[in-house]
Amino acid sequence: MDARAVLLIGETDNYDGVTVTMEEPMDAEVFTARLRASLSHWRQEGKKGIWIKLPLGLANLVEPAVSEGFRYHHAEPEYLMLVSWISNTPDTIPANASHIVGVGALVLNKNTREVLVVQEKSGYFKDKNVWKLPTGVVNELNFEL
């Protein structure tokens, strides 16, 4: 393996994603090698969404990340957030939040007096043996006029 191809350090989230917070200056070629090695490793681990938080001082790393399939997600005064969906499953990375509409339901069978409960496949309650009412968020809709 290329000596420059040390894995990037990232934090795993509740949705099988990884967030990399870049803090130290890095040469673009070194970053590209490390990013490629990391993406390969994360694919093998079954990770899905990869987030890279770049402070303004590391803008030299934007082009290499975009060349490896990353796109802009959002920007704040101090940083830029890039994201890439590396799973073969449908991309579920939410759009940048301007607002989020949450939904919940109480489903009751009048005849049996049973209530529908579910277990989460991802998120905070994944693999915690918790039953709950169905909830979620409304996906952004695109309308053409």
What's this model's pTM, rounded to 2 decimal places? 0.70
In the chain, the domains with their CATH numbers are 10-85 (3.40.630.30), 100-139 (no CATH)
Residue 143 pLDDT more than 70?
A: no
User: What token pair was written down for 53?
Assistant: 């938080």
Q: What's the pLDDT tens digit per position in 65-110?
A: 999 999 999 999 999 999 999 999 999 898 887 667 788 999 999 9
Q: What's the pLDDT tens digit per position in 9-46?
A: 999 999 999 999 999 999 999 999 999 999 999 999 99
With beta carbons less than 8 A apart as the criterion, state whether 48 and 16 touch: yes
If one counts every other C-beta atom within 10 angstroms of the C-beta of residue 19, the result is 15
Residue with tokens 């277990």: 119
Closest by CA to 132, choosing from 111, 104, 108, 112, is: 104
With beta carbons less than 8 A apart as the criterion, state whether 39 and 64 touch: no
